[in-house]
Amino acid sequence: KAGVTQTPRYLIKTRGQQVTLSCSPISGHRSVSWYQQTPGQGLQFLFEYFSETQRNKGNFPGRFSGRQFSNSRSEMNVSTLELGDSALYLCASSFFSGTLTSYEQYFGPGTRLTVT
Amino acid sequence: AQTVTQSQPEMSVQEAETVTLSCTYDTSESDYYLFWYKQPPSRQMILVIRQEAYKQQNATENRFSVNFQKAAKSFSLKISDSQLGDAAMYFCAYRSARNGATNKLIFGTGTLLAVQP
């Protein structure tokens, strides 16, 4: 079974631009979560999607947004990029049926975003 | 709000020896899950071991075991017979198990484990 895939793996953007990152979960997984990883702030939860609906959102500004498609693939968007948005963005998928039936989240390799 | 604290930024262990990584957490909830994740230099995060708070028995997965002290809110990871491949950043994480809770993980700051040959 293929794992969680994230594209692109590396990205360089300029301040003020916007960026879209993509995550394809493991087949059959309908829950997708996003995390930001930086040396200073560590791993922070961005948001979670299930069945195209946002179930939870972390404490990030409105410049960070996401969505999920009917095939469970998810995208996150960051508008008006700032230098502090440079980070590794991790996506995680899990099997979720409406009740909490799976403990494990499977992480993708991440997208390394550098803002200059 | 829940918090997770890892007080050891770096640890080192000799190959074949045992090492224990510490983690404490703070929560007012009674039902939750605790996890240890490993992030090797390649960056792919993988689950090492999990513990359900309602279980008194400590979880074990091969060479990895935990010491879960619910009253003390402590959750340490013991790696026995350390191998070179164990070298990685280790994260302790918390997830609520209350009704309606989501998959949100709250991570500690990590412990970088080096394994000396």
Give the separation between CA A89 and CA A110, rounded to whole angstroms.
5
Distance from CA of A14 to the nearest CA of B (A): 24
Q: Binning pLDDT at 50, 70 and 90, where does residue B27 land?
A: very high
> Do B45 and A100 count as a contact with CB atoms less than 8 A apart?
no
**Tokens at A18, concatenated:** 């916007």
Q: Is B47 on the interface with A (CB under 8 A)?
A: yes
Q: Which of B50, B91, B102 is facing A43, going by the closest CB pair?
A: B91
All residues at 6 or more sequence positions from A86 whose CB lies less than 8 Å from its CB, including other chains:
A38, A113, A114, A115
Q: What is the overall mean pLDDT for chain B?
A: 94
> Which residues from chain A sit within 8 angstroms of residue B107, using beta carbons?
35, 42-44
Using alpha carbons, select from B32, B25, B3, B1 the residue that is nearest to residue B98.
B32
pLDDT at B101 over 80: no
pLDDT at residue A103 in the model: 65
Using alpha carbons, select from A80, A87, A76, A9 the residue that is nearest to residue A46.
A76
**Tokens at A107, concatenated:** 């992480």
> Which residues from chain B sit within 8 angstroms of residue A56, using beta carbons?
102-104
pLDDT at residue A97 in the model: 62
Share of chain B above pLDDT 90, in %: 84
Using alpha carbons, select from B86, B71, B7, B74 the residue that is nearest to residue B34.
B74
pLDDT at A66 over 70: yes
Q: Which of B37, B44, B110 is facing A42, going by the closest CB pair?
A: B110
Using alpha carbons, select from B102, B92, B98 the residue that is nearest to residue B45.
B92
Q: How many CB atoms lie within 10 A of CB B28?
A: 6
Give the separation between CA A85 and CA A8, rounded to whole angstroms.
16
Q: Binning pLDDT at 50, 70 and 90, where does residue A101 land?
A: low
> Do A42 and B47 count as a contact with CB atoms less than 8 A apart?
no
Across B48-53, average pLDDT:
93
Give the separation between CA B8 and CA B62, rounded to whole angstroms.
23
Using alpha carbons, select from A31, A2, A24, A5 the residue that is nearest to residue A102.
A31
> Which residues from chain A sit within 8 angstroms of residue B42, using beta carbons?
109
